[in-house]
Amino acid sequence: MVGLLQRAPWSELADDLTDPVVRDALRLSLVCSAGATALAFVLGLPLAWVLARTELPGRRAVRALVLLPMVLPPVVGGVALLLAFGRRGLVGQYLDDWFGVRLPFTTWGAILAEAFVAMPFFVIVVEAGLRSLDRRYEEAAATLGARGFTTFRRVVLPLIAPSLVAGAALTWARALGEFGATILFAGNLQGETQTMPLAIFVELQTNLGGAIALSLVLLAVSIVVLVSLRERWFPA
Amino acid sequence: MTLDARVEASVGALRLDVSLDASSGETLVVLGPNGAGKTTLLRVLAGLQPLDAGRVAVDSAVLDDPVTGTWVPAEQRPMGFVFQDHALFPHLSALDNVAFGLRARGVRRPDARRRARTWLERVGVAGHAGARPRSLSGGEAQRVALARALVVEPRVLLLDEPLAALDATARIDTRRQLRRHLEAHDGARVVVTHDPVDAMTLGDRVVVLEHGRVVQSGTLADLRERPRSRYVADLVGVNLYQGMADGGRIRLRGGGELLVTGTLHGEVFAVVHPRAVALHRREPEGTPRNVWTGTIDHLDVEGDRVRVIVAGAVPVTAEITPAAVSELGLTIGTAVWASVKATEVSVYPV
């Protein structure tokens, strides 16, 4: 950290940050990490519910699969995504043939790659939140005439809101820093799939100042996330 | 009959097997020690848990019957449930907690809030309408929970240990008010409690539940005069014996004999009121009476009386004045004779 701050070209920081490559990367990072977080939310919430609340036979296997990307090297994840969603991939060929949807080397692909790597954080935090939720609130809602979905919307969601926020923040932070799976599955096209970590990698070889400026932005983001969630993990 | 139920269910090792009914305007108290299955019984009635066998019906509409495969889920049952520690929604104000049931039934927000406010006024917590549950006292939370259950006008109101979460002062006050609100509700009420005082204050009829079974049911006077289990006898504070009667003599189960004036034969219960037990330091003489020896195990001061628990071949509790205690010089471990006149023993068949 100190090294990063000490070498920071403070005077040229403004120039570096307005460079088109940097601006594109910044914009793409925000778009992709937000998209990945949204995707994790939409897919992860039902998944967390299933894992926390049902007695589905294959539940343990599903959990293992969901959590796998946490321990899997992201590069391997990228290869797997290519084999699945690539143009000749298991799912990808049908997406292409039937819907004309091509994911690899597109912004959507970058979003998918980031979501793949980051979603486990959301699922794990939200599942824990659901498990620690006192079931009697749902039972009370039922005895008051609320059906399943009403109870979920008006009782469960508000009560697990802290978990949703924490899970989304972690997911977003992880997605923001995603490198391996993204570069493998989505490539490194400026303005299309080149997010900040990818741009840092490229800049480092030609323009150290730009790389440092981008790194500083990511560092600042990490600190903001940490500070805003500290109450949750390190209560005073 | 408003509520008519026969419930067989298991909770862990406990087998619950209970029949009960309650009509409109009546409060049925289910009284029993912890772990007797009281809460499970309420949960089955409310539809939060299925029954293994039996039947639950309200106003002759069947809600749960495994034989016919009938099952009405909790949210469609005409029942209100007041949970032991209230289970108020922590993210909603008292007002919105009460309005919840109406909103879930499709009542529009302004209308639901207006009716909820009326109920908060009725139970006397309108001043806390905007408060979150965590800032309410135990008594206030209890009233909000009651209003929340009553606002949807359930045919049957179920209350699980409604006063257990309150401290002693709030309890007395809330108990009296609760009785008033229960009487104002025109459906049937089922109150579960382990506290005989609650049972006596709130209930019209009592069902005593032990180990998942009904050991006795009836009015409180029935319970007091003819307890049918050690638990009930302890609750109403009398000595209960069981044995084989042969006219004026009962051979007690735990050993020893009891002389009575009855003419019953066979298995009987015998009740001796502690006030009918006299204690002596020397062996007493005279009229036909039961005399047992023992040592004092315990002395409990209760108001202007002292309950003296005497351990011996025939354990007995006597209730005497503090003056008598000091006159006789009774302390724990003192050897005493306890005597009971045969006419003071009431005997009834098992």
Which pair of tokens denotes residue A22?
Answer: 């940097």
Cβ atoms within 10 Å of A9's Cβ, excluding its own = 14
| Whole-number pLDDT of residue B152 | 92
B90 contacts A145? CB cut-off 8 A? no
pLDDT at A190 exceeding the cut of 60: yes
Residue B53 sits at the vertex; the CA angle it makes with B49 and B57, to the nearest 5 degrees, is: 70
Label residue A235 by pLDDT band (50, 70, 90): low
Q: In the beta sheet, which residues pair with residue B58? A: B3, B61
- Chain B residues whose CB is inside 8 A of the A149 CB are none
Main-chain dihedrals φ then ψ at residue B47, nearest 5 degrees: 85, 20
Q: Which of A174-183, A199-208, B316-325 is predicted with the least confidence, judged by mean pLDDT?
A: A199-208
Indicate yes or no: CB of B75 within 8 angstroms of CB of A158. Answer: no
For residue B175, give the amino acid letter: R
| Rounded alpha-carbon distances, angstroms, from residue B142 to B10, B94, B160, B294 | 29, 11, 11, 47
Closest-CA distance, A228 to chain B, in angstroms, reads 21
B282-301 residue pLDDT tens: 888 766 678 888 999 989 88
pLDDT at B11 (0 to 100): 81
CA distance B130 to B312: 60
Q: How would residue A111 be classed by pLDDT, with cut points 50, 70 and 90?
A: very high
Q: With contact defined as beta carbons under 8 Å apart, do A198 and A188 qualify?
A: yes
Say which of A144, A158, A159 has its CB closest to residue B152: A144
Tokens for B159?
């209350």
Q: Does an H or E element contain B209, and which? A: strand B205-210
Is B46 within 8 Å of A143 when comparing Cβ atoms?
Answer: yes
For Cα atoms B61, B65, B69, give the angle at the middle one, nearest 5 degrees.
110
Provide residues of B within 8 Å CB-CB of chain A. Answer: 46-48, 73-77, 79-81, 83, 87-91, 100-101, 103-105, 148-149, 152
Residue B157: closest C-alpha in chain A: A143
With contact defined as beta carbons under 8 Å apart, do B64 and B71 qualify? yes
pLDDT recorded at residue B237? 87
Rounded to whole angstroms, the Cα distance separating A43 from A115 reads 10
Shortest Cα distance from A180 to chain B (angstroms)? 41
B153 CA: distance to closest CA in chain A (Å): 10
Q: How far apart are CA B128 and CA B94, in angstroms?
A: 7
Instruction: Return left, alpha or beta for B15; rule: phi > 0 is left, psi -120 to 50 is alpha, else beta.
Output: beta
pLDDT of the residue at A152: 94
Which residue ranges of chain B lie beneath pLDDT 70? 286-288
Please answer yes or no on whether B101 and A144 come within 8 Å at the CB atom: yes
Q: Model pTM?
A: 0.82
Contact (CB<8Å) A137/B87: yes
Q: What single letter denotes the amino acid at residue A132?
A: S
Return the residue of A nearest to B87 by Cα: A137
Would you tell me how many other CB atoms lie within 10 Å of the CB of residue B259?
16
Question: Is residue A236 pLDDT above 60, yes or no?
Answer: no
Q: CA–CA distance from A108 to each of A23, A77, A82, A188, B84 (Å)? A: 19, 16, 13, 13, 51
Question: Which residue in B has a C-alpha nearest to residue A148's C-alpha?
Answer: B75
Helices within B252-348 (DSSP H only): 322-328
- Measured between alpha carbons, how far is B349 from B245 in angstroms, rounded to an integer? 9
- Kindly report the nearest CA distance between residue A58 and chain B, in angstroms: 25
Separation in Å, CA A221 to CA A127, A163, A181, A182: 25, 20, 21, 19
Contacts of A70 (CB under 8 A, 6+ apart): A120, A121, A124
The pLDDT-based confidence of A231 (bands split at 50, 70, 90) is low
Residue contact B91–A142, C-beta within 8 A: no
Cβ of A143 within 8 Å of Cβ of B90? The answer is no
